[in-house]
Copies of this chain bind each other. A is one copy, B any other.
Amino acid sequence: MKTINLEHKFDLFSEHWHPHIIAELNGQYVKLAKLKGNLVWHSHEKEDELFMVIRGTLHMKFRDGEQSAGPGEVLVVPRGVEHYPYTKDNEEVWVMLFEPASTRHTGDVVDERTVNDQEWI
């Protein structure tokens, strides 16, 4: 029951596309990630995923369109929906994620950057 300061938590890691866990509630994790460049097209079969942008602009391609989100904006990707997160102009984007404890960030796709051992910070 200690207040969690997101900025302080973001200072604890520098890797891109590597979510770190800051809280757990009701079987869901709250994670922070720094994004730069692009991830891979993927989906999560059974898990909805929320992105809240803290810094920069997140771009998200879907098979039928595209959305972008800046600080104070939230994007929910429903289960089964293929998505492709990326950032423009080499910008580093900070996001907070809400998702089930079981979610892997690359979904059913295993990429060289797939992280299996998620770390608490």
Contact = CB atoms under 8 A, between A and B. Distances in A.
Interface of A: 1-7, 22-26, 28, 30, 47-50, 54, 62, 65, 67-69, 72-78, 81, 98-100
Contacts of A78: 1, 25
A1 B43 CA distance: 14
Given A26-B99, A26-B100, A99-B26, A4 B73 contact: yes
A6 B48 contact: no
Nearest to A49: B25
Contacts of A69: 3
Nearest to A5: B73
A98 B28 contact: yes
Please name the 7 residue pairs, one residue from A and one from B, whose CB atoms are nearest each other, closest first.
Answer: A25-B48, A4-B74, A3-B69, A6-B72, A3-B67, A23-B76, A26-B48
